[in-house]
Chain A
């Protein structure tokens, strides 16, 4: 092949690629710009001055939108999902390196959890908790347990059904990432550690964990951002307290000021911040892992 001259297909596909990137990022940049509309400005161009008016409204919660309660809920839920996804995926990924009973079934279930339509999973969780509630109420009535009978409404909530719904979405991604990591993992280091008399826990703690730490940052990143943006699985399974994306979905049809663009920019900002932190985390973890193993 001629190394210097690019074929025509390069330029054509390059143009398609470029157009796609514009298509991908253009709209997001548009609302970034429009979120700085002046106080008189509307939902579309032209810009009537440049201001942080809509951000101020959003910040004070005095505009149409008061989203800080759901903002905090989503943040907490995202953090819990992140930690659980990382720990559970790491353990399961480690387990899959050896044979164990039910291995094939567990793998298929995990993949199924990824591809079964979200609305079906969400509905299922809602029904499960409804049946549970009915059972608890019937039990309380039958045995005359006063406090349970009066105080109990539902087991559904942010950190029960909501958390479970999010985990069915984040864990398959976490496990697949761990598969990719362990597929490229050097077995001989572990063997060497074992030959030197390390216990399984020592092998895990001092050999495996430092080596996979950078990839764990990736799993954590997926865990948080997928949870932060999740709608479909949460929708039926959350109970009364909405998460931020659900609030946002409701606002799309009611809010007619650029405040919604300011909110959108803030939410995207959180995602971008987490992505950047993850990249920093990976590079730091890699450097430390290299130091520890090599020197």
Chain B
């Protein structure tokens, strides 16, 4: 594609870039744009046990929110699922942001040699390139009833019988998420911190700011873009998740991703599509609110 003939119209719009970008555009059209359109259309279709019925109906959305207007009888299933997912989101977000920030701060401001910084940065990011499922499985021998943690707790006398809440619980789900996704915060926050002009910190110090004041009034505002990008990643990953919640929650904990997956396995495609549309809408809303805080394109 790059072997396109020499551009003979230097003043006009060159054709070469269009051709060079065409494969990317084609892949995204076929496997991203069309699928999203298909989802939106099918979410309005009817279905029977065997087949899709292409008439326009609101059935899928109506069924999804059935009983949701009547708050007196407790929350409907859909709201409960969303609430449970959002709760996980909030916990994971808090921990990943805290750890991600602390780690980036250490790397960016406390390590003095560039080689050392790069090496430690790679140590923190390399696990991203290994399998998520295996990293989840790795927790089983630690957290199980006869696992290392329980053995340790019992032998030190902290507890006298094995603790069940360590595995297949909210705790293990959040733990696994933090394990898997802290790096999505570390990378953009580190990137933002490395761009901070070191003279600003010295200026703050010279002007008499304490360490906390420098952190709060100089470092955090300048790190905001990285924090926002990291938060978007974590929130979106957790909101759509079904693998981690499934494996680490022992298939017991509800999530939106799981609802979609189950509906797909029962071949209720239009119902799953409606769920997906609502999930996508919510995610886009979150992103819209968060990007109000920064200009993402300037960060790249």
Q: A residues engaging B (CB < 8 A)? A: 1, 6-7, 9-10, 13-14, 16-17, 20-21, 23-28, 30-31, 34, 42-45, 87-89, 91-92, 94-103, 106-107, 109-113, 115-121, 123-128, 130-131, 134, 161, 164-165, 167-168, 171, 175-176, 179-180, 199-201, 204, 221-222, 225-226, 228-229, 231-232, 235-236, 245, 248-249, 252-253, 260-261, 264, 267-268, 271-272, 274-275
Contact of B142 among A30, A113, A116 (CB under 8 A): A30
In the bound complex, do residue A252 and residue B138 qualify as a contact, i.e. CB atoms below 8 Å apart? no
In the bound complex, do residue A117 and residue B1 qualify as a contact, i.e. CB atoms below 8 Å apart? no
Q: B residues engaging A (CB < 8 A)? A: 1-4, 6-7, 13-14, 16-21, 23-25, 27-28, 30-36, 38-39, 42, 52, 99, 102-103, 105-107, 110, 120, 123-124, 126-127, 129-142, 144, 146-148, 151, 179, 182, 202, 211, 232-233, 236-237, 239-243, 246-247, 251, 257, 260-261, 264, 269, 272-273, 276, 279-280, 283, 287, 296-297, 300
In the bound complex, do residue B20 and residue A91 qualify as a contact, i.e. CB atoms below 8 Å apart? yes
Q: A20-B124, A45-B148 are in contact. List 12 more A-B contacts (CB 8 A).
A: A10-B110, A17-B120, A44-B144, A94-B20, A100-B17, A102-B21, A115-B232, A116-B36, A120-B279, A164-B30, A176-B300, A226-B129
Contact of B25 among A106, A111, A275 (CB under 8 A): A106
In the bound complex, do residue B103 and residue A20 qualify as a contact, i.e. CB atoms below 8 Å apart? yes
Interchain CA distance A87-B211 in the complex, whole Å: 48
Contact of B240 among A100, A118, A236 (CB under 8 A): A118
Residues of B within 8 A of A23 (CB): 179
Interchain CA distance A235-B265 in the complex, whole Å: 11
In the bound complex, do residue B240 and residue A117 qualify as a contact, i.e. CB atoms below 8 Å apart? yes
Residues of A within 8 A of B99 (CB): 16, 20
Min CB gap B211→A, angstroms: 7
Residues of B within 8 A of A13 (CB): 102, 105-106, 110
In the bound complex, do residue B179 and residue A24 qualify as a contact, i.e. CB atoms below 8 Å apart? yes
Contact of B243 among A89, A236, A249 (CB under 8 A): A249
Contact of B283 among A24, A88, A117, A226 (CB under 8 A): A117
In the bound complex, do residue B240 and residue A92 qualify as a contact, i.e. CB atoms below 8 Å apart? no
Residues of B within 8 A of A274 (CB): 129
Min CB gap B179→A, angstroms: 7
Interchain CA distance A264-B141 in the complex, whole Å: 13
User: Nearest residue in A to B297 (C-beta to C-beta)?
Assistant: A107
Q: Is the interface of B mostly helix, strand, loop or mixed?
A: helix
Contact of B23 among A6, A92, A113 (CB under 8 A): A92
Residues of A within 8 A of B23 (CB): 87-88, 91-92
Contact of B130 among A42, A167, A225, A231 (CB under 8 A): A225
In the bound complex, do residue B146 and residue A44 qualify as a contact, i.e. CB atoms below 8 Å apart? yes
19 residue pairs A–B, Cβ–Cβ below 8 Å: A1-B202, A9-B110, A20-B182, A26-B142, A27-B135, A44-B147, A91-B23, A91-B24, A101-B13, A101-B18, A103-B21, A106-B25, A115-B233, A117-B237, A117-B280, A124-B38, A131-B42, A180-B300, A245-B133
In the bound complex, do residue A92 and residue B138 qualify as a contact, i.e. CB atoms below 8 Å apart? no
In the bound complex, do residue B32 and residue A109 qualify as a contact, i.e. CB atoms below 8 Å apart? yes
Residues of B within 8 A of A261 (CB): 137, 141
Q: A27-B142, A88-B27 are in contact. Are A268 and B236 (CB under 8 A)?
A: no
In the bound complex, do residue A123 and residue B33 qualify as a contact, i.e. CB atoms below 8 Å apart? no
Residues of A within 8 A of B242 (CB): 119, 232, 235
Contact of A117 among B30, B106, B251, B257 (CB under 8 A): B257
Residues of A within 8 A of B33 (CB): 109
In the bound complex, do residue A252 and residue B102 qualify as a contact, i.e. CB atoms below 8 Å apart? no
In the bound complex, do residue A117 and residue B279 qualify as a contact, i.e. CB atoms below 8 Å apart? yes
Q: A21-B123, A30-B138, A119-B261 are in contact. Are A232 and B241 (CB under 8 A)?
A: yes
In the bound complex, do residue A228 and residue B276 qualify as a contact, i.e. CB atoms below 8 Å apart? no
In the bound complex, do residue A164 and residue B133 qualify as a contact, i.e. CB atoms below 8 Å apart? no
In the bound complex, do residue A24 and residue B240 qualify as a contact, i.e. CB atoms below 8 Å apart? no
Residues of B within 8 A of A199 (CB): 6
In the bound complex, do residue B129 and residue A275 qualify as a contact, i.e. CB atoms below 8 Å apart? yes
In the bound complex, do residue B251 and residue A200 qualify as a contact, i.e. CB atoms below 8 Å apart? no
In the bound complex, do residue B28 and residue A43 qualify as a contact, i.e. CB atoms below 8 Å apart? no
In the bound complex, do residue B32 and residue A43 qualify as a contact, i.e. CB atoms below 8 Å apart? no
Min CB gap A167→B, angstroms: 5
